[in-house]
Amino acid sequence: MQEIAGTRRNTVRYIYEEYEYHIDTMSPVIYRCATRKTTGCRGTARVDAAGVVTVYWPHKGHQPNRNVLEEAHMRQEMLDLAARTNAPPKEIFDKVCRRNPVVALNFSFVVIKRAIQRVRAKLRLPTSATFQDLSEVLNDYAPT
Ligand SMILES: [Zn+2]
């Protein structure tokens, strides 16, 4: 199982051979198809103590997502750019999407924009000034 960062904070997505899984709520070694709720697919995999994955119930009714890793990679790149630069969200989105337009079709700007805003809000948090701090800054401000 390959683990990649999930869409929401502190979530993990599990990928095996281009299929995505969720850990079974009853057993940490059983992984069930992530599309189960929407497709009814009963695809199930088991991971043994050595980490060997066995798909013991095949996927049915949907295709594997060949781009799942590239999608995660591109998304992470956008969030890294958001953290490292002051570029507008749309510019970051377009820049990364241009690199792989086929995979980019799966992205929604609105969703990415929100994620970019969250990343930036989090970065600002430690320095976020109270109004008291702000008034002190303004008191010290002397126009030159
Ligand atoms: Zn499935």
For residue 73, what are the domain limits? 68-127
**Alpha carbon of 7 to ligand 1 centroid (Å):** 19
pLDDT tier for residue 137 given thresholds of 50, 70 and 90? low
pLDDT of the residue at 10:
73
pLDDT in tens, 37-89: 999 999 999 999 999 999 999 999 999 988 888 888 899 999 999 999 999 99
The set of residues, in sequence order, having a beta carbon less than 8 Å from that of 82 and lying 6+ positions away, is 89, 92, 115, 116, 119, 120
pLDDT in tens, 97-128: 999 999 999 899 999 999 999 999 988 765 54
Provide the number of structural domains found in the chain. 2
Q: Are residues 85 and 113 in the same domain?
A: yes
**Alpha carbon of 113 to ligand 1 centroid (Å):** 29
Is residue 143 domain-resident?
Answer: no
pTM score of the predicted model: 0.64
pLDDT of the residue at 98:
96
**Alpha carbon of 4 to ligand 1 centroid (Å):** 18
Is residue 63 domain-resident?
Answer: no
pLDDT in tens, 91-104: 999 999 999 999 99
Q: Are residues 9 and 35 in the same domain?
A: yes
Is residue 139 domain-resident?
Answer: no
